[in-house]
Structure 1
Amino acid sequence: MGDVVLITGASEGIGRATAFTFARGGYRLALAARTAETLKQTAIELEQSLNAEVLAVPTDVTQPDQVQKLVEATLERYGRIDCLINNAGICLSGPFLQTTLEHWQALMAVNFWGYLHTIRAVLPDMLKRKRGQIVNVGSIGGKMPLPQMAAYCASKYAVSGLTEALRLELQPHGIQVIGVHPGLVNSNFLKRAIFLEEPGEDNLTHPSRARQRMQQALESFWVSQPEEVAAAIWEAVCHSKSEVVVGMAQWAVAAYTLFPGWVGPLLQSLPD
């Protein structure tokens, strides 16, 4: 019988592509997402096209009781969880002073606390078996700053810190913790992203400049596809890599790491 992977944010985008990639690799799947209809459709397509074994559990990762039920259902169905892929997330772009405390709390609830809830739920079984892999899908925004995205970067830097600290703590217990950091990905995340207007903008009659910038960026040559990120996750799991920066984002991260004094001002000079 194949290994078991639990994927959050699995109904669309990176999560969906990852589910298909791991199904092709012989894994049995437990899939979680908030929207039951799209999650069910993804599960049906996996079963029909790949004859995959799929458990689909609608789950809001910001709610620890729902996450616990997800993990319990997975363990009841399969008996173990070999790999957890934390992927659920939301994006927010806009000026710092336009970002309310409610925006910050909503972003951290999904992007950071959602990861923490799933890790805490799966870890006891992994520790008991002294085996397992935890993949945290982060972002280029967790490796370098991005303009107009303070809250998003803060949430992703938190994921990076959590990933690196847990890697040190859990490696002696046979558990690998992996960080995978995509850049901009051409998926349907725009429909869930939050774009805040500059003071004086009227977003009812015109799209915000932040949304327009993101839409333009999605047409650039350096944008990754969900399947590319899924392939990077698969390679990281198969080869037990500690960290992967996906696609062209690796060059931006490397440049910032080596030359922060040059890259920082360059980012500040980008047009609004």
Structure 2
Amino acid sequence: MPTILITGAASGIGAASARLFHAQGWTVGLLDMNEAALHDLAQALGGAWQRTLDVTDAVAVQAAIAAFAEANNGQLRLLFNCAGILRFGHFETISLEEHARIIAINVQGVLNCSYAAFPYLRKTPGAQILNMGSASGLYGVPHMASYSASKFAVRGLTEALELEWRSYGIRVADLMPPFVGTPMVASQTFTPPILKRLGVNLKAEHIARAAFDQAQRAGVHRPISAMFKAMYWSAQLSTPGLNRLVMRWLSRD
């Protein structure tokens, strides 16, 4: 039975992915800081393996991933780095501590988990890391500056490790959706102009399905939604100046 370990599993995309992979017969491991929600989800999934975890704590990450792998014959088929936080707002109105926390969870958390998972992925045929990227990793998005920067980092790490680890048979990819209707987005008190224009047209279940599909195939970046797929591929052919003009127009007040 294939195994998947999901960070940020207690709600949103992580929880939707856990339910889908479990329904498809995978052995699911759940990691999240929200102990109560994590416990409830694990019980709903028939007592799935769980551990409360802060992904910025490298020592705790090492221990948690080792424990899950050891409970599954030392193997790990898929690590889904889904944990992340978001804050909309003007850059200067968000505290420096909060900017740093966004980078710590969204970037250092991915580094910690990927590093700790490597020995077990290496032992597992068809192993893969799937990172939670974003459409904001394509071009810097106003009012999402540190979040956008974090997703650029995830994109770069994904591309580098996809080349570096292919010699071990480990695939590395990311998902790149635009805005998704999750509690994280719903809890924001500021609405960026770009969100008003593009809207929220995806649910967590759509991203879970993309994650499951990506687990079965090769590829590096997986843009999600027809609109963003068109934007993504046109951006590959456009000049940086044109991409900047498009973002400036979408983000105008």
> Please, what TM-score do these two structures have when normalized by structure 1?
0.84
Give, as a single letter, the amino acid of the residue that structure 1 aligns with 2:185.
L
**SS at structure 2 position matched to 1:61:** coil
TM-score by length of 2: 0.90
In 2, are the aligned partners of 1:144 and 1:253 still within 8 Å (CA)? no
**Equivalent residue, structure 2, for 1:55:** 49
Name the structure 2 match of 1:17. 16
Q: Is the 8 A contact 1:126 1:175 kept in 2?
A: yes
Give the alignment's Cα RMSD to 1 decimal. 2.1
CA positional deviation for 1:107: 0.8
Q: Which amino acid aligns with 2:237?
A: L
Task: Tell me the residue number matched to 2:72.
Answer: 78
Q: Which residue of 1 aligns with 2:204?
A: 226
How many percent identity over aligned positions? 31
| Kept in 1: contact 2:77–2:125 (CA 8 A) | no
Change (3 A) 1:78 1:217: farther
- Corresponding residue SS for 2:68: helix
Return closer, same or farther for 1:28/1:128 CA change in 2, 3 Å cut-off. Answer: closer
Distance in 2 (alpha carbons) for counterparts of 1:103 and 1:130: 39
- Quote how far apart the aligned CAs of 1:145 are: 2.0
Q: Distance in 2 between matches of 1:129 and 1:107?
A: 31
| Deviation, structure 1 residue 98 | 3.0
Q: 1:173 aligns with which of 151, 163, 168?
A: 168
1:109 to partner: Cα distance: 0.6
- Segments of 5+ residues of structure 2 without an aligned counterpart are none
Query: 1:98 aligned to 2:93?
Result: yes
After superposition, residues 117-266 of structure 1 pair within 5 angstroms as 117-129=112-124, 131-190=126-185, 207=189, 210-211=190-191, 216=196, 220=199, 223-247=201-225, 248-259=227-238, 260-266=240-246
Could you say what secondary structure the match of 2:109 adopts? helix
Q: Distance in 2 between matches of 1:240 and 1:254?
A: 18
Q: Is the 8 A contact 1:144 1:256 kept in 2?
A: no
Q: Residue 182 of structure 2 contacts residue 203 of structure 2 at CA under 8 Å; is this kept in 1?
A: yes
Give the Cα separation in 1 of the matches to 2:234 and 2:123: 41
Q: Partners in 1 of 2:214 and 2:54 — Cα distance?
A: 26
Q: 1:30 touches 1:54 (CA, 8 Å); kept in 2?
A: yes
Which protein shows a greater Rg? 1
What is aligned with 2:58? 64
